[in-house]
Amino acid sequence: MKKIKPILLILSIILTVFSANATITVASILGNNMVMQRNSEVKIWGKAEANKKLKITTGWNKAVASITADTNGDWLVKVKTTDAGGPYVISIESGKEKIQLENILLGEVWLCSGQSNMEMPMLGFGYQPVIGSGDALLNADNQNLRLFTVKKAPMATPQNLCSGKWEVANAATVGKFSAVGYYYARLLQQKLKVPVGIICSSVGGTPIEAWMSGKTLADFPELYEKSKKASAEQSRASHLYNGMIHPLVNYNIKGALWYQGEANRKDYMYYADLLQAMVSSWRSDFGVGEFPFYYVQIAPYSYGDSNALVSALMREAQLKAMASIPNSGMVCTLDLGSESWIHPAEKETVGKRLASWALSETYGFKGIPYKSPTYKSMEVKDNVVTISFNDAQYGITSFDKNVDCFELAGADRIFYPATMTKMNNEFRKIQVVSDKVQAPVALRYAFKNFPKTEGYLFSSTGLPVPSFRTDD
């Protein structure tokens, strides 16, 4: 050991001197172990001395690109990627100076973002576990799955750099990574049989306004001004977009995942428009077309009053948003909520439901169930309400549990508990009655912060029906 220490010290000094004298840098999102989007045009960029000439060689095709840094020292090249594979090396050279990025794979790249339910790591939060995490970590080793966590960095102005590093999936790296993001990426990698890179940029307790650019928020002046005054920096208008999304926009992604909404529940009436605007601006910023956007509807939770409606109204707004966002899909988590835990423990189920959307709609897999049935219409005959559903090809089921979260109202709009009396799977319909409502005009299903019910409605393949109402 005594002989090794001087050698290590010399090496350390050499590396320190080299780093101090280095004039070429690459963006922090670019690094060893990264996954770059296959079969596309990707960007490689960074800083150098003003007017410095650089040569970039990509290992997958041995192509050489030349670029000269501008007067500010900024440089960027676009290079073509091939089909999935690796590991490869990227070399960036200028004279005797050389940077080499190693162990690079070509595959599928996804961004996941939102607040704490997306941020929640596989190891969970204090006293709030992730079901199945132990088994997942035991089997986490996967050279074809790479993870990048953007470090929290709220900023008042748009940034070009973020902090973080690409890591190969193993028990240590997966344990601290987003559980939803990991489960999604793992299933995608298993089904596609290509490398998958997943970037997580999320911060707990944050509103959607923090993730939107200032330009986009300007279309919502009242909310913009209110958001600017948020006490927490990470909740202020555009601060997380500036520090945690804008630095990524040059990195080619296949699509994005979103799990957020709890912080906006009191402003539910604006949420559908806000989400549509955010998605539109992100797509414009990343410049890779109308990429897929799959998101998670918030799960039931008491918020101090299980019978209140604010969470249900937010879930309703999230469902409505899907109709205004092209190439989007929503995962329902009505069956996963907890009255006392705002972070549902079934994160694997969420990841699987998101991946089912992507596999079906983005990658063209056939036969995978991915759409929850949704309310279509109701008919009233005497005191019986017959409800029809969309996307219920093989009918509706409660898996033999009592669904006691229906309510009916007459012309007075006073809602009373109602009972499901008949299920007609041939016609994908159910019937509901209440002995207190003889002439029903309005219906609600699971339309509370936390519906206290034995069971819920599902598709035959186990996808839950989102809460709904007809009195809006």
Contact of 251 with 109, CB cutoff 8 Å: yes
Q: How many residues does the chain have?
A: 472
317 shares a domain with 280: yes
Three-state DSSP class for 380?
Answer: strand
Residue 448 tokens, joined: 């509370």
303 shares a domain with 378: no
358 shares a domain with 291: yes
In a domain, 343, yes or no: yes
413 shares a domain with 284: no
193 shares a domain with 135: yes
Q: What is the CATH number of the domain that holds 418?
A: 2.40.30
Work out the widest C-alpha separation in the chain, in whole angstroms.
93
Distance CA 144, CA 193 (A): 9
117 shares a domain with 61: no
432 shares a domain with 352: no
In a domain, 3, yes or no: no
Contact of 169 with 148, CB cutoff 8 Å: no
DSSP 12-31: HHHHHHHHHH---EE-TTS-
Task: List % helix, strand, coil for the chain (3-state, nearest 5).
Answer: 30, 30, 40
In a domain, 378, yes or no: yes
Written as tens digits, the pLDDT of the chain (472 aa) is 334 344 444 334 333 333 445 689 999 999 999 999 999 999 999 999 999 999 999 999 999 999 999 999 999 999 999 999 999 999 999 989 999 999 999 999 999 999 999 999 999 999 899 999 999 999 999 999 999 999 999 999 999 999 999 999 999 999 999 999 999 999 999 999 999 999 999 999 999 999 999 999 999 999 999 999 999 999 999 999 999 999 999 999 999 999 999 999 999 999 999 999 999 999 999 999 999 999 999 999 999 999 999 999 999 999 999 999 999 999 999 999 999 999 999 999 999 999 999 999 999 999 999 999 999 999 999 999 999 999 999 999 999 999 999 999 999 999 999 999 988 877 789 999 999 999 999 999 999 999 999 999 999 999 999 999 999 7
Q: Which residues pair with 381 in a beta bridge?
A: 384
Cα dihedral 40→150→76→283 (10° resolution) = 50
Contact of 26 with 44, CB cutoff 8 Å: yes
Contact of 337 with 299, CB cutoff 8 Å: yes
The domain boundary residue, chosen from 333, 362, 391:
362
In a domain, 369, yes or no: no
Q: Which residues pair with 107 in a beta bridge?
A: 37
124 shares a domain with 100: no
64 shares a domain with 192: no
Q: Element (H or E) spanning 217, and its range?
A: helix 214-217
pLDDT at 1: 39
Distance CA 405, CA 452 (A): 7
pLDDT at 9: 42
How remote is the C-alpha of 259 from its chain's centroid? 5
Q: Which residue, 319, 248, 324, 318, is CA-closest to 288?
A: 248
Contact of 189 with 144, CB cutoff 8 Å: yes
Residue 238 tokens, joined: 């555009």
In a domain, 337, yes or no: yes
The domain boundary residue, chosen from 330, 362, 394:
362
DSSP 152-209: P---SS--S-----EEEESHHHHHTSBHHHHHHHHHHHHHH-S-EEEEEEE-TT--GG
Three-state DSSP class for 378?
Answer: strand
Q: What is the CATH number of the domain that holds 82?
A: 2.60.40.10
139 shares a domain with 263: yes
In a domain, 138, yes or no: yes
442 shares a domain with 319: no
Distance between the two ends of the chain, CA-based, in angstroms? 75
In a domain, 4, yes or no: no
126 shares a domain with 209: yes
Q: Which residue, 288, 296, 203, is CA-closest to 249?
A: 288
Q: Which residues pair with 113 in a beta bridge?
A: 201, 258
Contact of 198 with 112, CB cutoff 8 Å: yes
pLDDT at 21: 55
Q: What is the CATH number of the domain that holds 128?
A: 3.40.50.1110
pLDDT at 428: 85
Backbone angles phi, psi at 161, to 5 degrees: -125, 150
In a domain, 11, yes or no: no
Domain that holds residue 75: 22-105
Distance CA 372, CA 369 (A): 8
Beta strands in 203-338 (DSSP E): 255-259, 293-296, 328-331
Distance CA 433, CA 316 (A): 23
Q: How many domains does one find in the chain?
A: 3
The domain boundary residue, chosen from 304, 338, 362:
362
pLDDT at 413: 95
User: What would you report as the CA-atom Rg of the chain, rounded to the nearest whole angstrom?
Assistant: 25
